Amino acid sequence: MELRPDLATRAVHAGRQDLAALGVHALPIDLSSTYPFSDLDGATASLDALVAGDQRAPNPVYARLHNPTVARFEDGLAELEGTAAAVAFASGMAALTAVVLAARADGGHVVATRPIYGTTDHLLTCELLGMEVTWTTPDGVADALRPDTALVITETPANPTLALVDVEYVVAQAGDVPVLVDSTFATPVLQRPAEWGAALVMHSATKFLGGHGDVVAGVVACGEAWARRLRQVRVATGALLHPLAGYLLHRGLTTLPLRIERAQATAQTLAARLLDHDAVAAVHYPGLEACDPTRLVGRQMDGPGTMLAFEVEGGYEAARAAVEHVSLMTPAVSLGSVDTLLQHPAGLTHRVLSDDARAEGGIAPGLLRLSVGLEGADDLWNDLAGALAAVEHLAVVA
């Protein structure tokens, strides 16, 4: 029996199978907006194939239909997720939009769990895409289903509280309804939802897959039938990922396991120290026993990850003081970069939610979300400790 290489090896080589035939070592970037043809019938056949959802055709025809640099990244990501295909988009929200639009053919209703990324919540709630949504907990998926339910959407670890969702359990409740899992926080290094029955695995590729804060993208890993539907939407809406972004993402895959492993070790250290700090009311991190009651880490997940959240004593004003007093960390939205990012969900990423929706998702005014980067653990802790000292000073003054 042929042994499959481990994920670190596959991350280096995935999607590069045609490079030797091309006679190159580094990934090529194809920036063409249009592709010449000498055979009109052949070009017409290629156009028909791409519009119908094929990933490739003998002639790419036009950059909105296909790009070979993007296709290599898609192949690489599919290899890491263990799916037949992947479809890349110009942003994570473009990817989600494409999935929802593709699902409309099967019904006008979506079931989604909270908490979830704030703009995902907003997009589903505002009914812009013509789908009605029922919000529920992971335990309530089965009861929320209707005859016209076309899709179940969940996120694990959830943004921003790091709440964990048992994908296999949700899939079992969903039955014949396909399940989309936003696995951005975990990446395929730590979690591969397709192994647990998810039909679609979505990433805001802007985050860990890119890893350097210099690309915006989204990608959905799935079977070929879903991929064809998603490509059809992408062709019609013009949401194809730019080739330069595709190149950066594919290059980022090679170091993804190393970046996750290093940042995860630091996150474990910071979570333990935050847990003992007097200015911290609660710490949310999958590596803490209280945050993983069903023991998904070690079963569904291969590690607790690099993301954590914590609540400071004193609510919004205390959280603001903490964010405004870091000097090494970057106070900014987004996550998964080589540098550490600290942000306030209630004021930024989840501000578009109603007060009730934030409360339902456990997004307190004093909650801060920390994306741990590659800096030294002690340096990051010293920065955090200084910020928390400002919180304690605020409490004394008050």
Q: What are phi and psi of 197, to 5 degrees?
A: 105, 0
Closest of 268, 306, 68 to residue 189, by C-alpha: 306
pLDDT of res. 6: 94
Which residue among 30, 62, 64, 104 is the active-site one?
64
CA 152, CA 150: separation in Å to the nearest integer?
A: 7
As to burial, measured by CB atoms within 10 angstroms (0-12 exposed, 13-18 middle, 19+ buried), residue 348 is middle
| Predicted TM-score of the model (pTM) | 0.96
pLDDT of res. 362: 85
pLDDT of res. 397: 60
Which residue among 16, 192, 207, 234 is the active-site one?
207
In this structure, the chain runs to a length of 398
Residue 183 sits at the vertex; the CA angle it makes with 182 and 184, to the nearest 5 degrees, is 95
pLDDT digit string, tens, across residues 155-181: 999 999 999 999 999 999 999 999 999
**Active-site residue 182, yes or no?**
yes
pLDDT of res. 398: 58
For residue 47, give every residue at least 6 positions away whose Cβ sits within 8 Å of its Cβ, in sequence order, or none: 57, 61, 65
pLDDT of res. 352: 81
Which residue among 114, 117, 247, 262 is the active-site one?
117
**Active-site residue 369, yes or no?**
no
**Active-site residue 117, yes or no?**
yes
Which residue among 121, 182, 292, 383 is the active-site one?
182
Q: What are phi and psi of 206, to 5 degrees?
A: -50, -30
For residue 68, give every residue at least 6 positions away whose Cβ sits within 8 Å of its Cβ, in sequence order, or none: 28, 30, 56, 60
Q: From residue 155, give the alpha-carbon distance in Å to each of 114, 162, 164, 299, 379.
A: 8, 9, 8, 17, 31
Structure tokens at 30: 């194809």
The parts of the chain modelled with pLDDT lower than 50 are 1
Domains and CATH numbers, the chain: 7-30+67-253 (3.40.640.10), 257-397 (3.90.1150.10)
Structure tokens at 369: 């979300």
**Active-site residue 10, yes or no?**
no
The answer to whether the beta carbons of residues 15 and 72 sit under 8 Å apart is: yes
For residue 397, give every residue at least 6 positions away whose Cβ sits within 8 Å of its Cβ, in sequence order, or none: none
Q: What are phi and psi of 335, to 5 degrees?
A: -170, 175
